[in-house]
C-alpha cells in the first residue's frame, strides 16, 4: 500500500514536497509501525501468551512515554 501511494505521489500527484514527506513519513510511516506493533501483540495473544502480550503492550506504551519525558527533560536542561 505504501509503495502504491509513494509511486502515485512521485509520478502523478500534485502534492508539494513538504506534503509528500508528511504523508509518507509522518502518516504512513507511523501507521505501518503501529500495524507491526499491533500484529506482534495479536500473534502473542493468539498463541496463548496472554501475559507476554499484556507485558509487551503495556511495556511498549510505558517505555515510549518514559522516553518522551526523558527527551523533554534533556531538551529543557540544555535550553
Model pTM above 0.75: no
Q: Say what the pLDDT of residue 16 is.
A: 84
Q: What is the pLDDT of residues 31-71, one digit of tens each?
A: 778 888 999 999 999 999 999 999 999 999 999 999 999 99
Q: What is the pLDDT of residues 27-42, one digit of tens each?
A: 777 777 888 899 999 9
Q: Say what the pLDDT of residue 1 is.
A: 66
Q: Say what the pLDDT of residue 11 is.
A: 79
Report how far residue 69's alpha carbon sits from residue 79's, in angstroms, rounded to the nearest whole number.
15
Helix (H, G, I), strand (E, B) or coil at 39: helix
Amino acid at each position: 500500500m505504501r509503495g502504491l501511494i509513494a509511486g502515485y505521489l512521485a509520478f502523478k500527484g500534485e502534492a508539494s514536497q513538504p506534503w509528500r514527506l508528511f504523508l509518507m513519513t509522518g502518516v504512513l510511516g507511523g501507521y505501518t509501525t503501529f500495524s507491526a506493533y499491533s500484529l506482534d501483540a495479536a500473534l502473542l495473544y493468539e498463541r496463548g501468551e496472554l501475559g507476554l502480550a499484556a507485558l509487551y503492550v503495556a511495556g511498549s506504551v510505558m517505555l515510549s512515554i518514559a522516553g518522551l519525558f526523558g527527551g523533554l527533560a534533556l531538551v529543557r536542561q540544555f535550553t
